[in-house]
Structure 1
Amino acid sequence: MFRPISAEIDFVALEEAELVRWREHDVFARSMQQREGAAPWVFYEGPPTANGKPGLHHVWARIYKDFFCRYQTMQGHFVQRRAGWDTHGLPVEVEVEKRLGISGKKAIEEEVGIAEFTRLCRESVHTYVGEFEKLTERIGYWVDLESAYWTYHTSYVESVWWQLQQLFNKELLYEDLKVVPYCPRCGTALSSHELGQPGVYTDEFDESCYVQLEITDTHDLPGATHLAVWTTTPWTLLSNVGVAVNPEVTYAVVNGLVMAEALVEAVCGEGVKPDDTLSGS
């Protein structure tokens, strides 16, 4: 009834044999057909950008997604799993700029032209689709690659516009102000994902500013006349309305200045001793 099991197990061979069986018997499609008409469990595939080679982080993300989809299918739900390809964003544009040996919007407009640059971006996002498809099958991630959506297709763009229209009609959209990271080279705001790209964040030496803020009520603060404040953004000082202290930190008074006790020598110089100490609480 059971096949003999070798003491020397080749896990790679076992996986590859199972993938062949799935492919030959169209197991994924059949698992979907068996659940047609059942209560749906909605899954949206967060698509990768295929202008770069897939990495280990793609494996992690896809395995996690596969866990949920398979579990919900085993629970009796109908789980549609449509693949997609992300073709928008700075990673695509920056990759094309590197290939052309240019940098910035001015160079794009003057040396290449917007229409040609857009064409090259569309071409770039197809570069490693084959590699992603091979990876997807190899790790056993069940997703419909044949009917994958592309975010640059008109149908997809119009679907996003339609959704925004529905939100607007229901008065769920509003205009407000928000502080966001900005790239002066790219001339655009940056998303959290774009901030995580290699080389985006670097440690730099820059000027900072020390400010003495006068204490208007020195009751219970013997010898203290000013708070020592350090900032790398002095242009925000005009709008500051308060100073926060940490109740778990001990503060020191040096010549009337209040600062963290642990930073006395760093601020005032080696060998300087505090005149008094205060509790942050």
Structure 2
Amino acid sequence: MKKIGMIGIGMMGHGIATNIVKHGYPLAVLEHAGNQPLDALKAAGVTTYGKPRELAAAVDIVILCVTGSPQVEAVLMGDDGVLQGLQGRKAGTVIIDCSTAIPTSTERLAKLVMEAGGRFLDSPMTRTPKEAAEGRLNLLVGGDAALFEECKPLLACFAENITHAGPVGAGHRMKLLHNYVSLGFVGLLAEAAACAERSGVAPEVLVDVLAKGGGGGLALERMKPYILSRDPSGLRFFMSNAAKDMGYYTTMAGDIGAARAIADGVHETFERALREGDPQALVPELVSLLAKKGDGAI
């Protein structure tokens, strides 16, 4: 079987790595301070490397699952980076970027990978750490159709729905569109719940009426535990990541001259959450921040 390397064993990456091992692939991961505990993976036979260059030189496929474009660029192009590890290897090493990234950066990096003799797919994911652990992520893949088919059995180890979105960059474009719509719904619900709280509408009444009408749906289900009982676990997504993803979306929209007035408002809402709260707070906690007494204007 192909040897797999993985960089980024965080909340999402740990589940991905666990499912790759369950399906019998030999796996190596990069030691990093941001990783989740590796004890269970090491007990299952996973090996580790200290530098991206060393990891890339030892495997056939490298999966990246890091925070965003700056981290992807650093991992690939930095000192002792993945691109250095491709030098001297047999051509054809595959880089699969499961991070959320700016599409223009993705296209530039894919070109560098191909110039180094490698191949590239952008394969960002949707859903949460729960589905990552269950092997039920959604993947939005950009890249050559033949390479997509070649890698699909590996991707199926940790994904339930796998969509080929188009050429390189299309996966990241689709991911940003998805996250804009998803975070837009969540931001709107948080603002409405904050308004309801300040105006004396009972949270259970708000949730019940929305669920029976046009406000029903997955966003409400994920926000409902916090609206009703201040339990943020329904959406385990950091406020810092929400602001980052919305910033990437507005950058993408600006690059192509697309309308973005609503997106700018959603972006500023999450940026305000960073300024006034904890960047590591979970997104449902936006309700409490917006409900604080004082000037409610963004």
TM above 0.5, yes or no, is: no
- Bigger Rg, which one: 1
State TM-score, norm by structure 2.
Answer: 0.22
State TM-score, norm by structure 1.
Answer: 0.23
